[in-house]
Chains A and B, each alone.
Chain A
Amino acid sequence: MSGTFLGMPSLPVFGTGNLHEHEPFPKAAHRELGNTQLRANLGHATGTIRDKRLAVVSELPDWEGLREAGRAIKESVMARLPDLLEKFEANFTARGGKIHWARDAGEANAIVASLIREQGADEVVKVKSMATQEIGLNEYLEDQGIAAFETDLAELIVQLDHDKPSHILVPAIHKNRTQVRDIFLREMEGVDPDLTNEPARLAAAARAHLRRKFLSAKVAVSGANFALADSGTLAVVESEGNGRMCLTLPETLITVMGVEKLLPSWEDLEVFMQLLPRSSTGERMNPYTSLWTGVTPDDGPQNVHLVLLDNGRSAALADEMGRSALHCIRCSACMNVCPVYERTGGHAYGSTYPGPIGAILSPLLTGITAEENNSLPYASSLCGACYDACPVKINIPDILVHLRGEDVDSKRGKKKLPSQMDLGMKAASWALSSGRNLGLVEKALPLGRLAAGPDRKITKLPGIAAGWTQSRDIPAPPGQSFRQWWDKEHRAPAGPAESTAPVEGPEGES
């Protein structure tokens, strides 16, 4: 089944779950900036990954060709998403897998919980997954009396500390080794009390802690990095082997994946498996990648489920300008090059998706008016570093500007009274429409000097301009404008000879 959709055009239906700012970005960022430990860790981490990434990317003579292919493949996926989803579904199902569709976070959570209960299980092992974090699966399961054990080392650290991830690739990057040791000593049952803060010792403690869980788990929950439509295959990319454990040992495997993760064919995987590891960890290849297609008799899980998640993706797709945000392969390269992310860290973005991609993806999935997400498109200097780094060439700066426009429009729509911005623009258009008007405005300049005070700086402006002066000072305006100066110089009797002729402005005033 394919072809034109003949139903009623529907309004975008936005996503729910962990996709919101709960306070405006500037406020959250201001607080996070005071955390010097976070900034030191982040500065070190982003700098290191950046250098590694540059080194391995420059090894490939065809890097730009791969990026261009990646962009085109993703664009073609978006253009024919319904057909590809149906094709994927048919192939995955033909091989014994079961597909469930979830409109939003709540529906996805309920499906996963009921699949777990069907197996009579009250605990699951989990592979790191952005999608399950987005829908708040762990919290939901906990409420249902089901324990979800994160098995990626960083996710485990964050989970044991009852904290939130701050980076999509290295979620515990805001913690140093001593903090990790303290968390393990406090939270891990049966841990060696002499545990040191050496990373190798800490990793060994995590191995021992999770080993029994892996070997006895009946149900695992995972995300997926890619889904291949022409074969019905799913792929998970990882490093530690915890992914392989979860994807191989339990009888039941439940995967949660956004509908945008599709690739048309096997051949396309060659592009993305070159782009992803190099952009992400700066490695030539990640240690482990697992691929499975439905059920393989006698090998791996025999109950294989996939929950296909909309949760605002169709709404993002409806935004012609913003839809390419769905090309994202979650490599995290954009955050590692972002000067704003590097200073504020991931928590300031509120949502599961931090950094430059988060600043566009979150408001696209939830709508710009959801909670405080309208501040996210401003969480950027528009320097363009994220666009240069992105392996699938998402033009993040352009989408940021587009969303800022959406934000302004939405506010204008809400209030019938003209906003301060409207009034300011009106005043400016009057002033700039004629030289005489501008001359009148300029007469007010000395007032500005008065406002600036003796240090010649304006540190606090009222109204909408307050946001501007919150993080910078404005120098006091000069005592006279250029036009006033020119008039004085050229009219004064003591002025140079050649300037005695009256100067005509465009409208002949003066």
Chain B
Amino acid sequence: MSARDEILGRIRSALRDTPSVPEVPRDYRRSSELGEEELIELLTDRLLDYKANVVVEQASAVPRRLAALLEGTGRYAVPHGLDQSLFAEADGFDGGSSRRVTDAPGHRLSVEELDAVDAVVTGSAVAVAETGTIILDAGPDQGRRVISLVPDRHICIVRAGDITAILPEALRRLDAARPQTWISGPSATSDIELERVEGVHGPRTLDVVIVRG
């Protein structure tokens, strides 16, 4: 008998008493009523608690903000689906020779190239204010999982309209089958005497730009 059939057989036999399937009580919170400003405030508070850096901007001010964040940074990576006009001002800083490398189908950045850039800028799919979580689902403005992993600094753009208050609301906006990365602050460890240290293997710095409107 194959291992599969044998294991399934053992399990069926273990359930000979045919235990009943209980009704799952879903009376935990599944929706909330926070306004946009409250959501932004809560998310900001949680992210700061995780030692991420947070700024809140109007859409029109994002190119300037990105330019400021990227000032003094060398090369940076972006996914092809992120609005490239966001970088108009950032690219101005080095007199036109672009520091920007784009990861696109047909022109994939190698792991070595990603290891050599100083930062990556991505969008995001949805965020959860209560837990300070930003979720990436590999959409075109977020790119492959690897691009937000290898560079040491991740600058992540979160649209205010994508912020939910609690986790159940966020999951309803997502498709399980897409590869997902949930990010709650930069990489961290507490393995040595429980002292929290930010930055082990993932990006050691997380900058979040929350965009209003």
Which A residues lie at the B interface, using CB under 8 A?
A: 4-5, 7, 9-10, 12-13, 41, 44-45, 48-49, 61-62, 65-66, 68-69, 72-73, 75-76, 78-82, 85-86, 95, 100-103, 107, 151-154, 157, 170-173, 176-177, 180, 199-200, 202-203, 206-207, 210-211, 214-215, 228, 230-233, 239-242, 244-245, 248-249, 259, 266-271, 273-274, 277, 281, 283-293, 296, 298-300, 308, 310, 314-315, 317-318, 320, 323
Cβ of B4: which chain A residues have Cβ within 8 Å of it?
Answer: 101
A284 with B130: CB separation less than 8 A: yes
A300 with B179: CB separation less than 8 A: yes
B188 with A239: CB separation less than 8 A: yes
A199 with B181: CB separation less than 8 A: no
Which residues B131-162 have CB closer than 8 A to chain A?
131-133, 138, 144-146, 149-150
Most chain A Cβ neighbours within 10 Å, of B22, B111, B133, B177: B177
Which residues B159-202 have CB closer than 8 A to chain A?
167-168, 171, 176-195, 197, 199-202
B17's closest neighbor in chain A, by CB? A320
B19 at the interface (CB under 8 A from A): yes
A202 with B181: CB separation less than 8 A: no
Contact of A244 among B131, B178, B184, B202 (CB under 8 A): B202
A259 with B176: CB separation less than 8 A: no
B14 with A317: CB separation less than 8 A: yes
B169's closest neighbor in chain A, by CB? A270
| Count class of interface residues, chain B | 35 or more
B8 at the interface (CB under 8 A from A): yes
B189 with A203: CB separation less than 8 A: yes
Known contacts A284-B132, A285-B133: A291-B13 contact under CB 8 Å: no
Minimum C-beta distance from B43 to chain A (A)? 12
Known contacts A72-B22, A315-B14: A288-B189 contact under CB 8 Å: no
Contact of A66 among B28, B46, B191 (CB under 8 A): B28
A48 with B194: CB separation less than 8 A: yes
B3 with A103: CB separation less than 8 A: yes
A292 with B179: CB separation less than 8 A: yes
Minimum C-beta distance from A57 to chain B (A)? 13
Contact of B192 among A86, A199, A292 (CB under 8 A): A199
Minimum C-beta distance from B185 to chain A (A)? 5
B149 with A244: CB separation less than 8 A: yes
Q: How far is the CA of A180 from the CA of B22 in the complex (A)?
A: 48
Most chain A Cβ neighbours within 10 Å, of B22, B185, B197, B201: B201
Minimum C-beta distance from A349 to chain B (A)? 21
Minimum C-beta distance from A258 to chain B (A)? 11
- A-B contacts, 5 of them at CB < 8 A, read A48-B194, A176-B193, A277-B131, A287-B186, A320-B19
A75 with B171: CB separation less than 8 A: no
Contact with A along B10-46 (1 / 0, CB 8 A): 1111111111111111111100000000000000001
A102 with B3: CB separation less than 8 A: yes
Minimum C-beta distance from A218 to chain B (A)? 12
A157's closest neighbor in chain B, by CB? B191
Cβ of B182: which chain A residues have Cβ within 8 Å of it?
Answer: 285, 288-291
B96 at the interface (CB under 8 A from A): no
B19 with A79: CB separation less than 8 A: yes
Cβ of B194: which chain A residues have Cβ within 8 Å of it?
Answer: 44-45, 48-49, 170, 173
A266 with B171: CB separation less than 8 A: yes
B49's closest neighbor in chain A, by CB? A284
Q: How far is the CA of A41 from the CA of B191 in the complex (A)?
A: 12
In terms of DSSP, what is the predominant structure of the interface of chain B? loop
A233 with B177: CB separation less than 8 A: yes
Q: How far is the CA of A9 from the CA of B18 in the complex (A)?
A: 13
B50 at the interface (CB under 8 A from A): yes
Which B residues lie at the A interface, using CB under 8 A?
A: 2-4, 6-29, 46, 50, 105, 108, 111-112, 115, 128, 130-133, 138, 144-146, 149-150, 167-168, 171, 176-195, 197, 199-203
Q: How far is the CA of A289 from the CA of B167 in the complex (A)?
A: 13
Cβ of B15: which chain A residues have Cβ within 8 Å of it?
Answer: 5, 78-79, 81-82, 317
Cβ of B176: which chain A residues have Cβ within 8 Å of it?
Answer: 228, 230-231, 233, 266, 269, 291, 293
**Other than the known A281-B190, A300-B146, what 5 A-B pairs have Cβ atoms closer than 8 Å?**
A44-B193, A81-B15, A249-B149, A274-B167, A320-B17
Q: How far is the CA of A61 from the CA of B27 in the complex (A)?
A: 11
B200 with A62: CB separation less than 8 A: no
Cβ of A79: which chain B residues have Cβ within 8 Å of it?
Answer: 15, 18-22
A289 with B188: CB separation less than 8 A: no
Minimum C-beta distance from B133 to chain A (A)? 5
Q: How far is the CA of A166 from the CA of B191 in the complex (A)?
A: 12
Cβ of A286: which chain B residues have Cβ within 8 Å of it?
Answer: 184
A75 with B22: CB separation less than 8 A: yes
B179 with A291: CB separation less than 8 A: yes
B187's closest neighbor in chain A, by CB? A241
Cβ of B23: which chain A residues have Cβ within 8 Å of it?
Answer: 72
Cβ of A102: which chain B residues have Cβ within 8 Å of it?
Answer: 3
Cβ of B18: which chain A residues have Cβ within 8 Å of it?
Answer: 79
Minimum C-beta distance from A171 to chain B (A)? 8
A241 with B203: CB separation less than 8 A: yes
A69 with B144: CB separation less than 8 A: no
Contact of B177 among A78, A103, A203, A293 (CB under 8 A): A293
Q: How far is the CA of A75 from the CA of B25 in the complex (A)?
A: 12
Minimum C-beta distance from A459 to chain B (A)? 39
A78 with B19: CB separation less than 8 A: yes
Cβ of A154: which chain B residues have Cβ within 8 Å of it?
Answer: 191
Minimum C-beta distance from A238 to chain B (A)? 9
The 6 nearest A-B residue pairs measured at CB: A241-B202, A5-B12, A318-B14, A314-B10, A241-B201, A231-B176
Q: How far is the CA of A215 from the CA of B108 in the complex (A)?
A: 16
Minimum C-beta distance from B149 to chain A (A)? 5
Known contacts A157-B191, A314-B7: A65-B181 contact under CB 8 Å: no
